[in-house]
Each structure stands twice: as structure tokens, then as C-alpha cells.
Amino acid sequence: MKIYNTLTRRKEDFKPIEEGVVSMYVCGPTVYNYIHIGNARPMIVFDTVRRYMEHKGLNVNYVSNFTDVDDKIIKKANEEGTTSEVISQRFIEECKRDMEGLNVLPASTHPLATEEVPGMIDMISTLIDKGYAYKTEDGTVYFRTRKFEDYGKLSHKNIDDLEAGHRNINVTGEQKEDYLDFVLWKPKKEGEPYWDSPWSQGRPGWHIECSVMSKKYLGECIDIHAGGEDLIFPHHENEIAQSEAANGVPFANYWMHNGFLNIDNKKMSKSAGNFFTVRDISEKYDLQVLRFFMLSAHYRNPLNFSAELMESAKAGLERILNAYNNLMYLYENATSDITNDEEAKAKSAEYVDKFEEAMEDDFNTADAISVIFEFVRHINQAVNEQTGANVLKIYIDKLSMLCDILGIILEKEEKLPDEEIERLIDERQRARKKKDFKRADEIRDELREKGIVLEDTREGVKYKWV
């Protein structure tokens, strides 16, 4: 199995630290709103990496955090007149709902930044004791970037050419020893959540959070650290610096990063009017289409999102689903239990080998999907009403296995009957009249999970299948 390592800029044979076990940390979202389709790409990509590794018999300890304290969360809380905890918990649940729709498996652990602050204080104290960090008069703690000799090794940037590229964390920078130094701890502002520390009442900087959560749940040195390409610098670069300075060992052996997602060949942004949440997409497409679309390109390549490409992905997915449904129909109605299955076994093994060859080469899902299309074409030509149940079962099992590795769901839940939909809509209307908005929202979400979107119109509530 070969992985392209951002650290070395080459494909390398993957050798886990502990035989048969993989430790993998993937940076999760900041939960201040619904996740957007840019957030969805690393979730889908690295979920697929995990699925393939588990298919190969590896035990994957997969950790992905939720950043639940952040300037954007605080801003949202202030706008709504509530607390950061209320905002973050709400959108953690919404994120998990979207992840379920995308068929992203829950992580082995989903740590919350706010629950790991004591560990962050400990690591910052270690960095101060080792001379890698310093406190300023206002209670801010900075990391001495130039003291870490390998700074820039992930992003391949020369430290002398760097500008202060760290995230905007609302500090003046006037008390810093060097413009490149980044924040480990910052003092509270009025109305912000805070924790007690030896330096000030405040909260941790963004970068220290992932270093501590990775160390706690996976160890000081891990196999794989992954995330979007935008995190290489400064986030992952800073994680390496503080982790290796504190722990004295390499932080991660392999670094994986997915490419950017553009919308109609333009960068996604709210100001450009081309910003889409996963929830937005779910109102037009089954989220399996979005997953299939995301896997249709190699994860390291830039990916362009457009209506035309989504329609193409929908058509491609339907080809696979139709082949599977046809197999199931023939299997359930097979008139013969046994026919010669040597060709079915041989061809299935051939396509499985080709699929695995693609996935072993840095998880080339685009080529893997092409193999599935080839397999589907063979199946469609090879089976008919006279095919024995044993042969059909071979094709069903192998096609299901390959699709499951990619997280493609072949068997959909039975559609709700119309009368049950109408009953739930009536219950929702009664709940709204009673101002029981919690129950009304639950019914709306329950229907959405089953592929039904409600539309409140002047003529009443209408629904459509997606």
C-alpha cells in the first residue's frame, strides 16, 4: 500500500508503527454552522481510506475532533444571545446528521477541544519549561517558531521568507519576540468563555488543540495525520513544531492532504454567492450522489463542483444501483440454484484485484470506480433469467464488497407509504400550532433522513422525494 506523504513529497510504502494497527488523526470542523461541501471532502476521502484499510484487515484507531471553542462560535453565540456551548452542541449534532447522510462512519473517538483544555495547559507548560514558549505581560503565551529548527519541513517553506500566516486570532502582536511566533494561549475578552491557567484566564490557541487531542488518544507519534490542503500551513506546520518540541519524537510518519474544492471553477465563498452546505445539497440530491462525486477524482487533485458534474455523478451511481437491483431481482426469482460458477469466480477475483491495485496506489478512487463500472458492464452481459442463484450470489457479494469500501449504499430503505408521510405532516402541523417546535423539527428531520423534503407554501405543506 503506497501513500503520498506531503512531508517527503513522494509516494511511500505504508508501514504502521504497530503491525496490524493504524493510528490516524483527521482534523475535524469548527462547529459554528452547518458543514459545507468543502468540509465534506476530507470527511469522505479519509473515511474511504479508513474503510479500505479495514477491508485489508488493519485495525484503524480513527480520531477526528470537533473544534467547539473559536472566534466564529463566540460571534454566533453573541448574535443569538446564547452561549458558545449551545451553538457548538447544536452544530455537532447537525454535523453528525450530515455525516450519517454521507455514510461517513463515526470516528473511534470524536474529542471536543473544550474537554481537553487541562492537557493543553500541560503541553504549554512543558514548552515554556523547554524554552520553546514564553508569556507576555497580558497573559498571552507564544511559541518561539525560530527555535524549532525544522519549522517549514511540511509546507516546504523557508522560514526567512515566511510572513505571519497564522490564523487571525485577534492579538496585537506587539509583545511578540518575532512576527512568526504563534499563539498557544490567549487571555479572555469580555463575554468570552475562559479557563483558568498559570498565565491568565483565557483559552487555548487553535493549533495546540489538535496536538493535545492527537497525543491523548493516539500517542506521541502516530501513523497518519490528515486534513485539507489548506491546513498544511500554518495549522499542521505549527502542530508539528509544538508537538515535536514538547514530546521530543516525530509527530506523524505520514501526512495526507486532499485538494481544494471549487464551485464552477471558482473558489467557494459566501460573498461570491456560490457557498453550499451539505444540507443545501441534500435538498436536491441524495447525499450518496455527493459522496460518489467526491470520490470520482483522485483525492489530491483539485475538484470542481457543478450542477452538470453532479448530474453526471448521479447517472453513474444509478448505473451501479440498477445493476445491483437487477442482480437482486434475478437472485430472488432464480429458477436454478446451481450453474457453473467458475467464470463468475474468476472474473470477480480479477475485478477485485484491479480495484485493490487502484486503491493500493495512494487510494486512487477514480480508477477504483472505473473498475466497478467495468465489473458492472461484465455483470450485465453475463447474467440473465437462466443464471443460477450461486453465480448471482457471487456477483452480488463482490459488487457489494467493493461498493462498501467506497461507502456506496446499494440497498435503500423502503420508501415510506404516502399515508404515513401525510400522517407525519399532520402531526408536524399540530406541533407547530402548539408551538412545540422541537417536535416539529424532529419530524422534518426524520422525513429528510428518509429522502423527503418538506416545503411550506401558501397552499399548505408539500413534499418531494430527493
Name the 3-class secondary structure at 46: helix
Annotate 296-363 with three-state secondary structure: CCCCCCCEEECHHHHHHHHHHHHHHHHHHHHHHHHHHCCCCCCCCCHHHHHHHHHHHHHHHHHHHECC
**Of 199, 226, 258, at which residue does a domain stop?**
258
Q: Quick check: is 96 in a domain? A: yes
In this structure, the strands spanning 222-228 and 202-204 are unpaired
Where is mean pLDDT largest: 74-78, 420-424, 430-434, 458-462?
A: 74-78
pLDDT digits (tens, 9 = 90+) for 121-176: 999 999 999 999 999 999 999 999 999 999 999 999 988 777 544 444 344 446 89
Residue 434 has a pLDDT of: 86
- Average pLDDT on 104-131 reads 98
Which phi and psi (to 5°) does residue 211 adopt? -60, -45
Neighbouring-strand partners of residue 433: none
The more confident residue out of 415 and 435 is 435
If you count them, how many residues does the chain have?
A: 466
The Cα-based distances of 184 to 99, 122, 296, 446, 461 in angstroms read 30, 11, 39, 42, 51
Q: Do 75 and 223 share a domain, yes or no?
A: yes
Q: What is the pLDDT of residue 413?
A: 60
Task: Report DSSP letters for 122-191, one per residue.
Answer: HHHHHHHHTTSEEE-TTS-EEE-GGGSTTTTTTTT--GGG----S-------TT-SSTT-EEEEEE--TT
**pLDDT (tens digit, 9 = 90+) per residue, 226-280?**
999 999 999 999 999 999 999 999 999 999 999 999 998 888 877 777 889 999 9
Examine the domain organization and report whether 101 and 187 are in the same domain: yes
**Residue range(s) defining the domain that contains residue 122:** 2-258
Task: Give the full edge-to-edge strand order of the sheet including 303-305.
Answer: 266-267, 261-263, 303-305
pLDDT band at residue 415, thresholds of 50, 70 and 90?
Answer: low
Q: What's the gap between Cα 17 and its chain centre?
A: 24
Whether 292 maps to a domain, the answer reads: no
Q: pLDDT tier at 183 (50, 70, 90 boundaries)?
A: very high
In a domain, 274, yes or no: no
| pLDDT at residue 191, as a whole number | 86
136, part of any domain = yes
Give me the pLDDT at residue 167, please.
42
Q: Please check whether residues 78 and 126 belong to one and the same domain.
A: yes
pLDDT tens figures, 12-57: 999 999 999 999 999 999 999 999 999 999 999 999 999 999 999 9
296 assigned to some structural domain: no
- Look at residue 165 in the predicted model and tell me its pLDDT: 45
Q: From residue 41, how far is each of 22, 46, 70 by CA, in Å?
A: 21, 9, 22
- Give the pLDDT of residue 38: 94
**Model-level pTM greater than 0.85?**
yes
List the grid coordinates of 24: 490516524
Residues 78 and 15 grouped into a single domain: yes
**Do residues 13 and 157 both lie within one domain?**
yes
pLDDT the model gives residue 163: 56
User: Average pLDDT of the chain?
Assistant: 93
Domain count, the chain: 3
Q: Specify whether 84 is located in the same domain as 123.
A: yes
Same domain, 394 and 457: no
Domain containing 25 — which CATH number?
A: 3.40.50.620
The answer to whether residue 89 is domain-embedded is: yes
Q: Are residue 346 and residue 369 in the same domain, yes or no? A: yes
Distances in whole angstroms, Cα of residue 101 to Cα of each of 46, 138, 291, 449: 16, 45, 9, 7
Domain co-membership, 327 together with 445? no
Q: Which residues of 40-51 are buried (b: 16+ CB within 10 A; e: fewer)?
A: bbbbbbbbbbbb
In this structure, the answer to whether residues 56 and 151 fall within a common structural domain is yes
Close Cβ partners of 160 (under 8 Å, ≥ 6 residues apart): none
CA angle in degrees (0–180, nearest 5) for 251-256-260: 135
Do 389 and 315 fall within a single domain?
A: yes
Gap between the Cα atoms of 233 and 251, Å rounded: 16
Q: How many CB atoms lie within 10 A of CB 445?
A: 13
Q: Look at residue 412 and tell me if it is in a domain.
A: no
Q: Within this chain, do residues 313 and 430 fall inside the same structural domain, yes or no?
A: no
- Find the mean pLDDT for residues 353-379: 98
The separation between CA 11 and the C-alpha centre of its own chain, rounded to angstroms, equals 22
Strands 59-64 and 133-135: unpaired
Cβ atoms 261, 275 nearer than 8 A: no
Residue 373 included in any domain: yes
- Give the mean model confidence (pLDDT) for residues 399-428: 86
- The enclosing domain of 358 has a CATH number of 1.20.120.640
